[in-house]
Amino acid sequence: MREPKLNGMFFLLALLLVWELAARAEWVNPLIVPAVSKIVGTFSELLWSGQIPLQILASLKRAAVGYALAAAIFIPLGIFMGLFDNIRRALEVTVEMLRPIPPPVVIPAAMLFFGLEDEMKIFVIFFSCAWPILLNTLDGVKNIDRVLLHTASTFGLPQRKIIWQVILPASSPQIMTGLRVSLPIVLILVVISEMVGSTDGIGYFILDAQRRFRVAQMYAGMLALAILGYVLNQLFNLAHRSLLPWHWGMTKRME
């Protein structure tokens, strides 16, 4: 396993070297594609001056609130829809009607309502990750072995205990899947909503840098975003591992 990793590293370094040379020798217009060293320099400058951390913090705040809100509402809703067939059937059509709306086109509607404030982005994020969270939770609950539920009620467990001790643990892998699928969607929608209507945040920063023709800053912002995406994914894995250690082990072995 070690050798392929090295191969990949060398290839990546070679690519970056070619990029650097191409920009320095002006085979490509360095105004549009600046040298890697310059991008990295700008990146560290922006990092230490606090500008990039500030923008990322603004984005993260919106992302976290929208994501948490969606989880807090749609996980319970998914559980209820999974448990009670008539609730599911009652909401099915409405969900199916709203689901095909691509989340970015909700931005203008949200802008009408909330202006360019944080609430606008939070709403858009909330809307965009609602469906993966809801549908995965619903599927998870619906696919619970009925014997588990019957056993629990035979032993006289009250409804509340059944939910906390049987249903939630049994459907948690699927709920986790929903949350995982939503993570990149959240990031995409933060960036889009900041590009379309905002005065701060990393998405705004990147687009603004492009419009002012500060090209190195634009690439630096993208680098920051890539790192952010990577870190968030790692954090999610960490949470997954500590919350559902048994499931984490299972998925690892399957890979």
**How many amino acids of this chain bind another protein (CB under 8 A)?**
63
Q: What is the DSSP string of 104-133?
A: GGHHHHHHHHHTTSHHHHHHHHHHHHHHHH
Q: Tell me, residue by residue from 147 to 186, as one string, x for binding to another protein by CB under 8 A and - for no binding.
A: -------------------------------------x--
Phi, psi of 214 (to 5 degrees): -95, 80
Please state the separation of Cα 111 from the chain's center in Å: 22
Burial profile 162-185: b = 16 or more Cβ within 10 angstroms, e = fewer:
bbeebbbebbbbbbbbbbeebbeb
Burial profile 226-235: b = 16 or more Cβ within 10 angstroms, e = fewer:
eebeeebeee
Give the one residue of 170, 210, 244, 247 binding another protein; rule: CB under 8 A.
Answer: 210
In total, the chain counts a number of residues equal to 255
Point out which span in 42-50, 100-108, 144-152, 159-167 binds another protein (CB under 8 A). 100-108
1-60 residues in contact with another protein (CB under 8 A) are 3-5, 7-9, 11-12, 15, 32
89 touches another protein by CB under 8 A: yes
- Catalog residues that contact another protein under the rule CB under 8 A: 3-5, 7-9, 11-12, 15, 32, 85-86, 88-97, 99-109, 111-113, 135, 138, 142, 184, 187-188, 190-192, 195-196, 203, 206-207, 209-210, 215, 218-219, 221-222, 225-226, 229-230, 232-233
